[in-house]
Structure 1
Amino acid sequence: MGEMTGFQLGVIGALFLSVASSVSIVICNKALMSNLGFPFATTLTSWHLMVTFCTLHAAQRLNFFESKAIDLKTVMLFGILNGISIGFLNLSLGFNSVGFYQMTKLAIIPFTVLLETLFLKKQFSQKIKFSLFVLILGVGIASITDLQLNFVGTVLSALAIVTTCIGQILTNTIQKKLNVSSTQLLYQSAPFQAAILFVSGPLVDQSLTKQNVFAYKYSPIVLAFIILSCLIAVSVNFSTFLVIGKTSPVTYQVLGHLKTCLVLGFGYTLLHDPFTERNIIGILVAMLGMGLYSYVCTQESKKKQSTDLSNSQVKEKDTEPLLDGKSLGYQDKENQDAKKSSRDSFV
C-alpha cells in the first residue's frame, strides 16, 4: 500500500512539473520570439537539449543518479527519431496555418491510440475513447481558427504526427522493457537529439524565417531570455520522459492539451491576447474531457488493482497444503518450516 501511495505521489509530482515547466517555457519563448524578435525555434531547441545533457552529466558525476548502459544502436535511433520529430513539428508550423498546426497536434492522440492498439495490442475502453473525443473537441473549438491546406504542409504534418507518436511510444516502451529510469534514458539520448537538431536547426530556421541564426545580433536581454529558456527546458525535457514513463503516451498528450488551455488563459490574462466566447467554451469542454479521462483512468486502475489482488489471494489459497502435520497425527518440524516458508513467499 505504501509503495502504491508513493507511486501515485510520484505521478502527481511528474504531472505538476510537466505542466508548470511547459507553461513557463511557452511564455518565455513567446516573449523571446514575439517581443524580442528571435525566431529561431529549432536551433533554440538544440541548445535546450545540449544544456539538458550537460546538466544531467554534472548530476551523474555528482552521483545524483546512476548511469545505465543502453544498446548504442537503440538509443541512437531513438534520439535521432525524437530530434527529427521536433524538426517536422516546427516545419509543419512554418508551412501551415496555425489552425492546421493545431489540427496536427490534435491528431497525435487518435493516431497514438491506433498504433498502440495495432502493434502493442493495448485495449482502450469505450469510456476512454469518449473522454478523449470530448477533450479533442474542446481543444479544437478553443484553438482552431482557420484551416488553410497545402500539399507540402500536409505532408510535413503527416510526418510530424507519425514520428512524434512513434517517439513517445518508444519512450514508454524502452523505459519499461529495459528497466531504465526517465533520467537514464534522457541522459543517453539527449546528445543524439541535440546533434541532429544542431546540424539541421539553422537550415530549418533559415527556410522558415529567411534569416541566419549566426548573423543575428544578440543583445544582453536576448541572451538572458535564451539562458532562462534553456534552464526551464531542462525541467521540460526531464518531466516529459518522466510522465511518459510513469503513465502512457496518450496521457502525456492529454496533459499537453491541458497546457494548451492554460497557455491560452495565461496569454489572455498576462499578455492580453485576444479572447472570445468560443475560446472560453472550448476550454470548458476540454476541461470536461480531461476530467472524464482522469476519472475513467482512475476507476479502471482501481478495478485492475482489485482484480489483481483477488487473483493473488486465490493463488495463495490454492497453494496452501490441504493436509498438515496435525491431520496426519504427527508433528513434523520440517513440514511446518516448509509451510511457513511457502506462506512468507507471498508477502
Structure 2
Amino acid sequence: MGTTTLSRVGGLLSLWPIVATTLTSWHLLVTFCSLHVALCLNLFEHKPFDARAVMGFGILNGISIGLLNLSLGFNSVGFYQMTKLAIIPCTVLLEIIFFRKIFSRSIQFSLAILLLGVGIATVTDLQLNALGSFLSFLAVITTCVAQIMTNTIQKKFKVSSTQLLYQSCPYQAITLFVIGPFLDGLLTNKNVFAFKYTPQVLFFIVLSCMISVSVNFSTFLVIGKTSAVTYQVLGHLKTCLVLAFGYILLHDPFSWRNILGILIAVVGMIVYSYCCTLESQQKAAEASAPLTQAKESESDPLLTVENGTGILADGVVPKAPVWKSNKDLHA
C-alpha cells in the first residue's frame, strides 16, 4: 500500500517539469488571494508605498524564477547545484560593493565550510555548455538582487513581509503566467494547457498551491528579519534534509560522499549560526551603551536654581553670577 502510494506520488512529481514555471504563477496567485482574505479579516494592515519599486521588484522576482528553471533545463543537475552554491558568494559580493556591508572573517569561513559540504554532497557531474552557463549567470544575478531587495525594501519603506508579499504577488504572478507556458514548452516540447489534468494531478496541484502560501510567506519573513545570505543558508539546510529523508524514507542510493558532505555542511551552519548570534549580541551591547551612559548622567546631582541661588552637591563651589552690564546690575 505504502509503496503504491509513493510510486503514484513519484509519477505525479515527474510531471511537474511540464508545468513548473506556470505552476509557480498559480502558487503566487493563490498566495495573493489568501493574503487578500487575511486583509479583509483585518489580520494585517495594508500599507501602500512606492508603486514603481513594487512593480520592478515583482517583475524581477518572476524573471529570476524563470531563469532558474531555464538553468535547470539547459544544464546538468550537477552544474545547476553549482549555480545554487554561487548565490551566497555573489550575494556577499553585491552587498559589500553596493551596501558597504562588512562580513567578518569568521562569517566568511563558516560560509566556505557550508558551501564545501553542500558541494561534496550534491555536485556530481559538471557538464558545461555556453547557453546553459549564460542562463545560470543571469539566474544567479537576478536571484541575488531580488533577495537583497526583499530585505532592503522592507527596511527602507518600513513595511512588513506580509505587506510586501501582498503588493508584489500580482506582478510576480502575471510575469510568470505570461512567460511560464513559453518556458515550459521550450523545456519539455509540450503544451501546458493541452496536458491532461486528471483528478489526482489536480489534487496535488491544489495541495501544492496551499503549501506555497506558507512557503512564500516564510521566505519574505526570513529575508526581512535576517538577510539574504541567512536565507540561502537555510536553503542549503533544506537540501541536506531532503537528501537525508530521501535515504531514510525512500531508500535513495546514498554514499559516504553524501554523508561526509552533509556533516561538513552542518558544521558550517552551526559555526555560521554561532558567529551571527555573537555579532548580533555585540551590536546590541554597543547600541545599549549610549543609553546606559545617558541614564547615568541623568542620575547625577543637578543644579537647582531657586531665587537666583544654586543648591549644589556637597563640595561644589557655586560660581558668582556674571552680569552683562551695569544696567543689569541696577535693574
Shift of 1:304: 1.3
1:173 to 146, 152, 160: 152
> Over alpha carbons, which structure has the higher Rg?
2
Shift of 1:328: 2.1
CA change 1:192–1:206 in 2 (3 A) is same
Map residues 87-236 of structure 1 onto 2, 5 A cutoff: 87-236=66-215
CA change 1:147–1:56 in 2 (3 A) is same
C-alpha separation in 1, matches of 2:267 and 2:204: 35
Number of the residue aligned with 2:22: 43
| Counterpart AA for 1:224 | F
Q: Is residue 42–residue 86 contact of structure 1 (8 Å, CA) maintained in 2? A: yes
C-alpha separation in 1, matches of 2:9 and 2:304: 74
- Tell me if 1:328 matches 2:328: no
- Tell me if 1:248 matches 2:227: yes
2:282 to 276, 294, 303: 303
CA change 1:119–1:319 in 2 (3 A) is farther
Q: Deviations over 1:139-167 (max 9, x none)?
A: 00000011000000000000000000000
CA change 1:99–1:303 in 2 (3 A) is same
- TM-score normalized with structure 2 length: 0.88
Number of the residue aligned with 1:32: 12
2:246 to 239, 263, 267: 267
Q: Deviations over 1:92-133 (max 9, x none)?
A: 000000000000000000010001111111100000000000
| Counterpart AA for 1:244 | I
Matched residue of 1:328: which SS?
strand
C-alpha separation in 1, matches of 2:240 and 2:165: 27
CA change 1:162–1:223 in 2 (3 A) is same
Compute the RMSD of aligned alpha carbons. 2.0
CA change 1:31–1:240 in 2 (3 A) is farther
Q: Is residue 17–residue 188 contact of structure 2 (8 Å, CA) maintained in 1? A: no
Q: Is residue 138–residue 284 contact of structure 1 (8 Å, CA) maintained in 2? A: yes
| Counterpart AA for 2:283 | K
Shift of 1:273: 1.9
Matched residue of 2:222: which SS?
helix
CA change 1:244–1:160 in 2 (3 A) is same
Shift of 1:322: 5.9
| Counterpart AA for 1:81 | L
Shift of 1:239: 0.3
- The share of aligned pairs that are identical, in percent, is 65
C-alpha separation in 2, matches of 1:179 and 1:37: 37
Q: Is residue 42–residue 204 contact of structure 1 (8 Å, CA) maintained in 2? A: yes
- TM-score normalized with structure 1 length: 0.84
Q: Is residue 202–residue 213 contact of structure 1 (8 Å, CA) maintained in 2? A: yes
C-alpha separation in 2, matches of 1:185 and 1:29: 34
Shift of 1:266: 1.6
C-alpha separation in 2, matches of 1:228 and 1:91: 25
Matched residue of 2:18: which SS?
coil
Q: Is residue 53–residue 187 contact of structure 1 (8 Å, CA) maintained in 2? A: yes
C-alpha separation in 1, matches of 2:155 and 2:94: 18
C-alpha separation in 2, matches of 1:30 and 1:86: 23
C-alpha separation in 1, matches of 2:281 and 2:9: 40
- Tell me if 1:282 matches 2:264: no
Q: Deviations over 1:233-274 (max 9, x none)?
A: 000000000000000000000000000001111222222222
2:34 to 51, 55, 60: 55
Q: Is residue 118–residue 236 contact of structure 2 (8 Å, CA) maintained in 1? A: yes
Count the aligned residue pairs. 303
Q: Which moved more, 1:270-279 or 1:167-176?
A: 270-279
Matched residue of 2:272: which SS?
helix
C-alpha separation in 2, matches of 1:31 and 1:139: 27
Q: Is residue 303–residue 311 contact of structure 2 (8 Å, CA) maintained in 1? A: no
CA change 1:60–1:217 in 2 (3 A) is same
C-alpha separation in 2, matches of 1:158 and 1:316: 53
C-alpha separation in 1, matches of 2:278 and 2:85: 25
Give ranges in structure 1 of 5+ residues lacking alignment: 1-27, 331-347
Matched residue of 1:51: which SS?
helix
C-alpha separation in 2, matches of 1:269 and 1:236: 24
C-alpha separation in 2, matches of 1:31 and 1:103: 27
